[in-house]
C-alpha cells in the first residue's frame, strides 16, 4: 500500500498542535466528564424558577484552581463537540457559571497564585474555539438589534467581556493583554454577527487596557470595510467600540 510521507512542514505543524484532550492538559478524564455534567446536565428552569446555581444547597464542584483552569482549557477547545448534546439554554447556564463571578469563583481560577501563567495562557489559547465552534454556529441565524438577543446563550455571548472579571484583575500583565487581544481579534473573524458584536463589545470595554490602540483602530477599520452597506448598525457599533464608547 502506498502511503504519502508527511512533509517536514506538516510534521512541524502536527508537533505544534496542542493536545486538547483531558490527558493532554494533565486532567483526569473522569474529572472533566464530571465537570461537564455538573455545568451542563441541568434542567432549564420553568417560569418562576431559578437556575440551578442559585440553590444554596447545591454542592460545589471539588476542584483546585489549577484543575478548574484545565477544565476550562479543554471545555473551550472542544465545546463544539463536547456540548453538542446540550440545548442552547443549558450551554448558556453552564457558561454563565464559568464566566460570571456573580455566580461562581471559577473566573478567578486562572489568575490564582497557585496557577502557572503558562497554564492560564494555554486556556486563553483555547478560548477562540469556544466562539468559533460552539457559540457561533448556535447563534449564526440570529439577526436582531444589538443587545436585544434573547436567551441564556445569547446573554453569555454578548456579556462575556463585560462581566468576566479575569482580565480586569491582570490587565497590567503583558501576556494577558496579548492573549485577550488574540481572542477578540479571532472572534471578529467568526461568521456570526452575534459573536462579532461580542468581540466589539469586548474591545469597547477592554481596549483601553490592551495597550495597542493603533492596532485596534486598524483591525476594526478593516472589519468595518467587510460589513455590507445594509448593516449600518454594526458599522456604527464597531466604530463606537474602537473608541471605547459602548455600554
- Give the predicted TM-score (pTM) of the model: 0.92
Phi, psi of 87 (to 5 degrees): -75, 165
Grid coordinates given for 30: 473522569
Alpha helices for the chain (secondary structure H): 8-16, 29-40, 65-82, 88-99, 117-129, 136-139, 152-163, 166-169, 174-188, 193-210, 213-226, 232-242
- pLDDT tens column, 29-87: 999 999 999 999 999 999 889 999 999 999 999 999 999 999 999 999 999 999 999 99
The average pLDDT across 155-164 equals 96
Q: Is 235 exposed, middle or buried (0-12, 13-18, 19+ CB in 10 A)?
A: middle
- pLDDT tens column, 114-159: 999 999 999 999 999 999 999 999 999 998 999 899 999 999 999 9
- pLDDT tens column, 197-240: 999 999 999 999 999 999 999 999 999 999 999 999 999 999 99
Q: Is the pLDDT of residue 3 over 50?
A: no
Amino acid at each position: 500500500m502506498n502511503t504519502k510521507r508527511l512533509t517536514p512542514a506538516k510534521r512541524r505543524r502536527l508537533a505544534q498542535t496542542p493536545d486538547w484532550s483531558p490527558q493532554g492538559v494533565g486532567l483526569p478524564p473522569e474529572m472533566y466528564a464530571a465537570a461537564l455534567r455538573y455545568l451542563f446536565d441541568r434542567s432549564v428552569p420553568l417560569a418562576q424558577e431559578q437556575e440551578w446555581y442559585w440553590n444554596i444547597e447545591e454542592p460545589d464542584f471539588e476542584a483546585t484552581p489549577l484543575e478548574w483552569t484545565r477544565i476550562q482549557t479543554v471545555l473551550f477547545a472542544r465545546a463544539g463537540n463536547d456540548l453538542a448534546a446540550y440545548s442552547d439554554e443549558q450551554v448558556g447556564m453552564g457558561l454563565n457559571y464559568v464566566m460570571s463571578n456573580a455566580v461562581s469563583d471559577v473566573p478567578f481560577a486562572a489568575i490564582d497564585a497557585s496557577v502557572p501563567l503558562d497554564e492560564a495562557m494555554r486556556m486563553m489559547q483555547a478560548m477562540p474555539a469556544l466562539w468559533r465552534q460552539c457559540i457561533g454556529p448556535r447563534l449564526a441565524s440570529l439577526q436582531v438589534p444589538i443587545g436585544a438577543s434573547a436567551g441564556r446563550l445569547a446573554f453569555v455571548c454578548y456579556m462575556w467581556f463585560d462581566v468576566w472579571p479575569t482580565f480586569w484583575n491582570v490587565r497590567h500583565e503583558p501576556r494577558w493583554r496579548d492573549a485577550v487581544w488574540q481572542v477578540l481579534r479571532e472572534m471578529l473573524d467568526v461568521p456570526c454577527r452575534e459573536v462579532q458584536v461580542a468581540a466589539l463589545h469586548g474591545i469597547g470595554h477592554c481596549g483601553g487596557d490592551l495597550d495597542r490602540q493603533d492596532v485596534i483602530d486598524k483591525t476594526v477599520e478593516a472589519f468595518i470595510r467587510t460589513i455590507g452597506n445594509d448593516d449600518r448598525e454594526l458599522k456604527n457599533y464597531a466604530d463606537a467600540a474602537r473608541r471605547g464608547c459602548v455600554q
